[in-house]
Amino acid sequence: MPSLCLFCILAFFYLSFFLGYYTFFSGFLGTLFSIFLANLLHIQLIELFHTQLFEIAVAIGFLTYIVGALLYRFVKMRNEKEVVDHNYVQSRLRSLETQLNPHFLFNALNSIAELIHQDPDKAETAILKVSTFLRNTMDEHARIPLRDEIRNVRDYVELENIRFSGKIDFQVSGEMPKISVPKFSIQLLVENALKHGFEPHRVLHIVLSYDKEKHALILINDGKPIKSTTFGTGLGNLAQRLKLLCKGSIKITDKQNPTFAIYLGDCNENTHRG
């Protein structure tokens, strides 16, 4: 029974410590009440608690205050660090995304410039499709549903097929998961396949699939083999956004049969900017 009472006293003391917002009075009054409760329950205490009760209560009150102040400062510093880290990530993402629209527009406008002399009607259609594509990609979120990314890729391929006379074939193989991915992630890989793998005399087949075990999107094309494993502006940008948004990565898994894997990490759980 005495041990149970002592446990109750200690429990009350620590409860008052935490619920009292670490103030001096929490420790001071908690000590006085604990001693009162101990006397009420006839629990034997050392003589010092009877002769210098007030001094002990004041000392414990000050200790409570100091510990509380230190804990408050620690929590405040941790929260400030999280805010700074979060703001840095947002700033970095905005910087990376700012690079993407000019990058896409540069390529699209070059394509349209070629079409103007070759086929003005196709050039007009291409301009309208660029407008549609840009409208669909104006979402401010850094991550978008995979189904929306695939839709944007189809629009992009349709746009490029105006220039390449329908020789780009994009297919989705198997069931796709209901997850979110970094914006432009698949589109950049398709764009890379067109830039480095397309051959005018034949159709370029591009297939997207999902590897459930590796939690990765796999994009393979039957174009020219990959010569360099160094990422340019677009894929370098994607690699950085994958790291920031998902702790993910992008790798070339087959150079002869150009294959890229986007390892998604915790993309679907990450909360940075949607």
Tokens of 209: 């699939």
Domain end residue (candidates: 78, 104, 136): 78
So what's the pLDDT on residue 254? 94
- On whether residue 274 sits in a domain, the answer given is no
- On whether residue 43 sits in a domain, the answer given is yes
So what's the pLDDT on residue 175? 92
In 3D space, the residue among 236, 244, 222, 235 whose CA is nearest the CA of residue 186 turns out to be: 235
Is there a single domain that holds both residue 124 and residue 22?
no
Residue 253 has pLDDT above 90, yes or no: yes
Is there a single domain that holds both residue 55 and residue 130?
no
pTM of the model: 0.59
Is there a single domain that holds both residue 73 and residue 124?
no
Total domains, the chain: 2
Listed range (24-38, 141-155, 156-170, 239-253) with the worst mean pLDDT: 24-38
Mean pLDDT for the stretch of residues 167-171: 95
Listed range (47-51, 57-61, 98-102, 151-155) with the worst mean pLDDT: 98-102
Report, in angstroms and rounded to the nearest whole number, the Rg of the chain calculated over CA atoms: 32
Domain range for 244 is 119-263
Is there a single domain that holds both residue 129 and residue 30?
no
Domain end residue (candidates: 78, 101, 131): 78
Mean pLDDT for the stretch of residues 206-232: 92
Banded pLDDT at 19 (limits 50, 70, 90): very low
Share of the chain above pLDDT 70, in %: 63
Are the C-beta atoms of residues 194 and 167 closer than 8 Å to each other? no
- On whether residue 191 sits in a domain, the answer given is yes
User: Residue 187 to residues 10, 98, 160, 168: CA-CA distances in angstroms?
Assistant: 62, 16, 12, 13
So what's the pLDDT on residue 118? 81
